Amino acid sequence: MLCVFQALGDLCIAPDAFLEREVVTTPKSDILSYYIRCDPSRSNPFFQRLLQGQQAVKAMSSNLVTVARIAKELYKPTELHPKLDVLTTDINHVDNLASGLSTLLDCKSLHRQYLNATHSVCDLGL
């Protein structure tokens, strides 16, 4: 029980340092630092992957236009449109999800939740 109180004390005295000490691997510590500090000069550690995902969605959309153009020459519209419409809808859905994910991974809201959690545990809970 003493260990729990000591850990809570360490957490409440210096929450950033406590969490950074507990997370020892470099990629995780970079991500953790991004969210607990939310420094505007640092870029989102997921930015590159998010950008690649958005570019992949744009490429899918462009490729679908090409495939649709070729397919219109080979298939009847009644056979083609239901399938193309489903693909178009799915690509648009993925695009919307990717945009939402970018917003969700921004540090501002998670940093605010982190501050609220430490306040709740340390100031209100103890």
Residues 26-77 have pLDDT tens digits of 667 788 889 989 998 988 999 999 999 999 999 999 999 999 999 999 999 8
Number of structural domains in the chain: 2
Per-residue confidence (pLDDT) for residue 126, from 0 to 100: 62
Q: Name the residue range of residue 13's domain.
A: 1-45+107-126
Contacts of 23 (CB under 8 A, 6+ apart): 29, 32
Q: Are residues 37 and 51 in the same domain?
A: no
Query: What pLDDT, on the 0 to 100 scale, is given for residue 18?
Result: 86
CB 19 within 8 A of CB 32: yes
Greater model confidence, 125 or 47: 47
One-letter-per-residue 3-state SS of 22-91: HCCCHHHHHHHHHHHHCCCCCCCCCHHHHHHHHHHHHHHHHHHHHHHHHHHHHCCHHHHHHHHHHHHHHH
Task: Identify whether residues 75 and 116 lie together within a single domain.
Answer: no
CA distances from 36 to 2, 31, 40, 67, 123 (A): 26, 9, 12, 46, 18
Q: Do 75 and 55 fall into the same domain?
A: yes
The reported pLDDT for the residue numbered 70 is: 93
Mean pLDDT calculated for residue range 93-118: 91
- Residue 57 CB coordination number (10 Å): 19
Q: What percent of the chain has pLDDT over 70?
A: 95
pTM comes to 0.70
Q: Is 37 in contact with 16 (CB distance < 8 Å)?
A: yes
96 within 8 A of 61, measured Cβ to Cβ: no
- The answer on 96 and 54 residing in a single domain is yes
